[in-house]
Amino acid sequence: MLLLQQFVNSIMLGSVYVTVAVAFTLTIGILNFLNFTIPTLFMIAGMMGWALSYYGLPLGLSGPLPWPIALMGAVVLTIIASLIVERFTFRYLKTKYGDSTEHAIPLVSSLGFLLVLENLVRIGYGTDSRRFEGPDADLTMNIGGIFVRVPQLVSLAVTVVIVLGLTMMIKHSRIGRGLRAIAENPDAANILGVDTRRIVPVVFILTGLLCGLAGALFAINYGEVSPAMGEDIGTKAIAGMVIGGLGSIWGAVLGGLIVGLIEMMTVHFFGADTVQVMVWGALLLTLLAYPSGLLGHNTIGKGKL
Amino acid sequence: MSGYWAGILSILAINIIFAYGIFIPVASGQLNLGGAGFQAVGAYSAGWLSASFGLPVSVTIAFGVIVTGVIGVLIAFPILRTKGVYLVLATFAFAEVIAGAILSSEPLGGAMGISVPGYIDWYVSVIFAGLVTVFVFYLMATRFGLTIRAIHDDEDVSDLMGVSVRNVKVAAFGIGAALTGLSGGLYAHSFSYIEIQGFNALVSIYVLLYVLLGGTQTAWGPLVGATFFTLLPEALRSVLPATKNFLVTLFGETGIVAPPDESWRFVILGALTVLMMVFRPEGLVTRTMVERLQFWRPANRGVTQ
């Protein structure tokens, strides 16, 4: 019974990883770009949600906002931050000689953004973790002896809806067709009439939206945010993405859940100290033995960065 | 020599060696985002040997270099089967596995860290940094350096021209790992205390940024990058409070002003990274720049032969 409870917990934990991992896999699958600002965007969503509900709007425009409005504002801010990142990491960067490290330019640039955004938040709000006053927290359901917290159930549902919506959008809409064309070959897509400069920001809006929602759900579920909250989630989401296969949305879903499962089972059987070794060991093994992951295409991310 | 400058010089020397350790794989086109992992291996093997058996510093550092080099070569064979994003992720994962393994290992002190008895003065690190610099300049001037550059520019063509791509890459990775191990050993003995939190993912990011911002085309790049970015925070340490004081007095405020937050240094490093990637993505020092600055030029340069 305890094991079953752990299993349910691992799915709840995994659903946060899933949302962030989908953001990672989307930028890598479509733009061939490993966006290291994603954990930071996740953190910004949480911290901004807290700041809006604690201080209210800047310049004394309002008092502390109620938590749902604060979180919505936080998601909007995260999307804006993501678009700023797009301006500087992706828009102006064209490779000139095509040698092997030049493709790393957006990646390096996103590492720079990681430092800037993270430290700005630290300067603004300090490094301590803060209590987020969400909904009255003790909404717990007892289903046949298994305890499930309602906010977690809601966030699982939200995650499922997002992923389904995203898949539908990419498969059936006009924008989705453009995105798939860019993923296939950006130059050819451009020649054939896909307006790359207007479609690429869509990826970053989606990234911001996914990270924002993940951050907001995290704040509701755990009731605590801090400037360091992105690192742990971000690295585990990367692990989930790789295990599921780069560039595959359903792979990221599967991988995120698997990472949640590995984490919970490791804590259950070996204790919390070995989690890092297990998760990253699984990632390293996947990379070395079966690089395309469980559901990935083996063309994505090869040779390019 | 005051303790302050001695500390800065030893960290500068260690960073230069560390940057060269990352530079050699990057010069052959392999981004290594696991620098902190290799440095941790060097630091912990030297520190452990010194703390447990009381061996002299020369032996422990040599042991650290050998262990890291061997691990580098062993890990290079599987890791170098991957390319592009996968290689970045694999090196990153390797560093996380090392950090996790050390964190959960009792003899290595776990989260407590270990104190290292053998102490070395600042000039030892500086001498080593000089030797390593000369060695890397020599290496880049040899046939091996030429093949590294060729592989960086185009792997397939170098393969066709008879370069054994895999051997050169493994050798570059191994030499780089050994140098990184040297920097780790020197770090352990210079600061007498090591803990695994000091070898986190941010350290890997910083050192990769030093190398890429300095430029990967010549051996000058890491030297310039590491020196600039190690000394920049120290310069800012005095300039930033002065600027803040000046601004505050402009607005007519008197009294003691709180010094600005340390985090501004990293904001500036990140912002510089983003700007460099937009305006000069090949790094500060390029091959053409070095050739232009040379007083004595080879006679036939630029003449058809």
Q: Is residue B176 part of a domain?
A: yes
Report residue B175 CA to chain centroid gap.
Answer: 13
d(CA B67, CA A2): 43
- The sign of the torsion formed by the CA atoms of B211, B215, B220, B225 equals negative
The per-residue pLDDT for B105 is 81
Residues 204-233 of A with CB under 8 A from B: 231
Nearest to A280 among B97, B152, B281 (CB): B97
Nearest to B267 among A115, A283, A291 (CB): A115
What is the ipTM score, two decimals? 0.81
Residue A40 contacts residue A114 (beta carbons within 8 Å): yes
**Does B90 sit within 8 Å of A111, measured CB to CB?**
no
Q: Is the pLDDT of residue A143 over 80?
A: no
Put simply, whether A166 touches B (Cβ < 8 Å) is no
Put simply, whether A285 touches B (Cβ < 8 Å) is no
What angle in degrees, to the nearest 10, is found between the helix axes of A2-31 and A38-54?
Answer: 110
Question: CB neighbours (10 Å) of residue B245?
Answer: 15
Q: Is residue B193 part of a domain?
A: yes
**Looking up tokens 């909250």, which residue turns up?**
A229
The per-residue pLDDT for A304 is 40
Nearest chain B Cα distance for residue A164, angstroms: 27
**Does A276 sit within 8 Å of B273, measured CB to CB?**
no
Q: Is the pLDDT of residue A60 over 70?
A: no
Kindly list the residues from chain A whose CB atom is less than 8 angstroms away from the CB atom of residue B210.
none
| β strands within chain A, DSSP E | 130-131, 140-143, 146-149, 224-225
Residue B147 contacts residue B35 (beta carbons within 8 Å): no
Residues 113-152 of A with CB under 8 A from B: 113-120, 122-123
Report residue A36 CA to chain centroid gap.
Answer: 10
Question: CB neighbours (10 Å) of residue B228?
Answer: 15
**Does A273 sit within 8 Å of B110, measured CB to CB?**
yes
Q: Is residue B303 part of a domain?
A: no
Q: What are phi and psi of B162, to 5 degrees?
A: 95, 15
Put simply, whether A284 touches B (Cβ < 8 Å) is yes
> Which two three-digit tokens encode residue B106?
């009792």
The per-residue pLDDT for B194 is 87
Put simply, whether A282 touches B (Cβ < 8 Å) is no
Kindly list the residues from chain B whose CB atom is less than 8 angstroms away from the CB atom of residue A103.
84
DSSP run (H or E) holding A11: helix A2-31
Calculate the CA dihedral of residues B173, B175, B177, B180 and round it to 10 degrees. -140
Q: Is residue B13 part of a domain?
A: yes
Question: CB neighbours (10 Å) of residue B57?
Answer: 20
Average pLDDT of span A209-229 = 86
User: What b-and-e string marks burial along B176-193, b requiring 16 or more CB atoms within 10 Å of the CB?
Assistant: bbbbbbbbbbbbbbbbee
Average pLDDT of span A48-59 = 80
**Residue A263 contacts by C-beta under 8 Å, 6 or more apart in sequence?**
A10, A13, A236, A275, A278, A279
d(CA B49, CA B296): 48
Report residue B257 CA to chain centroid gap.
Answer: 36
DSSP 8-state code for residue A113: H
Quick one: which of A257, A285, A286, A262 has its CA closest to A274?
Answer: A262
**Residue B284 contacts by C-beta under 8 Å, 6 or more apart in sequence?**
B213, B214, B215, B221, B224, B225, B228, B276
Q: Is residue B179 part of a domain?
A: yes
Nearest to B269 among A92, A115, A123 (CB): A115
Nearest chain B Cα distance for residue A146, angstroms: 31
The per-residue pLDDT for B162 is 87
Average pLDDT of span A39-57 = 86
Nearest to A101 among B29, B85, B205 (CB): B29
The per-residue pLDDT for A132 is 78
d(CA B142, CA A296): 41
The per-residue pLDDT for A38 is 92
- Which chain B residue has its CA at the smallest distance from A107's CA? B85
Kindly list the residues from chain A whose CB atom is less than 8 angstroms away from the CB atom of residue B78.
288
The per-residue pLDDT for B257 is 52
Tell me the pLDDT of chain B (305 aa) as tens digits.
677 888 889 999 999 999 999 999 988 888 888 899 999 999 999 988 888 888 888 889 999 999 999 999 998 888 887 777 788 888 888 898 898 888 888 778 777 888 888 788 888 899 999 999 999 999 999 999 999 988 888 888 888 888 888 899 999 999 999 999 999 999 998 888 888 888 888 889 889 888 888 888 888 989 998 998 888 877 777 777 777 677 666 665 555 555 555 677 778 888 888 888 878 777 788 777 887 777 766 555 554 44
**Does A305 sit within 8 Å of B31, measured CB to CB?**
yes
**Looking up tokens 């650290």, which residue turns up?**
B64
**Does A104 sit within 8 Å of B205, measured CB to CB?**
no
Amino acid making up residue B120:
I
A305 pLDDT tier (thresholds 50, 70, 90): very low
Question: CB neighbours (10 Å) of residue A299?
Answer: 12
Give me the half-sphere count of Cα atoms (radius 13 Å) on the Cβ side of residue B162: 1
Q: Is the pLDDT of residue A154 over 60?
A: yes
- Which chain B residue has its CA at the smallest distance from A290's CA? B82
Nearest to A305 among B84, B94, B264 (CB): B84
Nearest chain B Cα distance for residue A95, angstroms: 9
**Does A276 sit within 8 Å of B216, measured CB to CB?**
no
- The sign of the torsion formed by the CA atoms of B48, B53, B57, B58 equals negative
Please indicate whether residue B113 or residue A253 has the higher confidence score (pLDDT). A253
The per-residue pLDDT for A300 is 52
**Does B90 sit within 8 Å of A109, measured CB to CB?**
no
Nearest chain B Cα distance for residue A80, angstroms: 18
The per-residue pLDDT for B229 is 83
Q: What are phi and psi of B97, to 5 degrees?
A: -65, -45
**Residue A140, SS3?**
strand
Question: CB neighbours (10 Å) of residue B284?
Answer: 16
> What is the per-residue pLDDT across A171-201, written as a single tens digit (0 to 9) for each?
888 888 888 888 877 778 888 888 878 888 8
Q: Domain total for chain B?
A: 1
Rounded percentage of chain A residues whose pLDDT exceeds 90: 10
**Does A92 sit within 8 Å of B267, measured CB to CB?**
no
Substitution target in A97, A103, A111 with the highest count of B β-carbons within 10 Å is A111
**Does B269 sit within 8 Å of A235, measured CB to CB?**
no
Nearest chain A Cα distance for residue B66, angstroms: 23
β-bridge mates for residue A147, sequence order: A142
**How many contacts (CB atoms, under 8 Å) link A and B?**
160
Q: Is A173 exposed, middle or buried (0-12, 13-18, 19+ CB in 10 A)?
A: exposed
Kindly list the residues from chain B whose CB atom is less than 8 angstroms away from the CB atom of residue A122.
261, 263
Q: Is residue B301 part of a domain?
A: no
Nearest to A111 among B29, B81, B273 (CB): B273
Kindly list the residues from chain B whose CB atom is less than 8 angstroms away from the CB atom of residue A237.
none
The per-residue pLDDT for A98 is 47
Kindly list the residues from chain A whose CB atom is less than 8 angstroms away from the CB atom of residue B81.
288, 291
Q: Is residue B30 part of a domain?
A: yes
Range of the domain at B170: 3-212
Q: Is residue B35 part of a domain?
A: yes
**Does A280 sit within 8 Å of B269, measured CB to CB?**
no
**Does B274 sit within 8 Å of A89, measured CB to CB?**
yes
For chain B, what is the HEC assignment? Answer: CCHHHHHHHHHHHHHHHHHHHHHHHHHCCCCCCCHHHHHHHHHHHHHHHHHHHCCCHHHHHHHHHHHHHHHHHHHHHHHCCCCHHHHHHHHHHHHHHHHHHHHCCCCCCHHHCEECCCCCCHHHHHHHHHHHHHHHHHHHHCHHHHHHHHHHHCHHHHHHCCCCHHHHHHHHHHHHHHHHHHHHHHHHHHHCEECHHHHCHHHHHHHHHHHHHHCCCCCHHHHHHHHHHHHHHHHHHHHHHHHHHHHHHHCCCCCCCCCCCCCHHHHHHHHHHHHHHHHCCCCCCCHHHHHHHCCCCCCCCCCCC
**Does A93 sit within 8 Å of B96, measured CB to CB?**
no
Nearest chain A Cα distance for residue B265, angstroms: 9
Q: Is the pLDDT of residue A95 over 60?
A: no
Residue A183 contacts residue A304 (beta carbons within 8 Å): no
The per-residue pLDDT for A299 is 53
d(CA A86, CA A121): 19
The per-residue pLDDT for B177 is 94
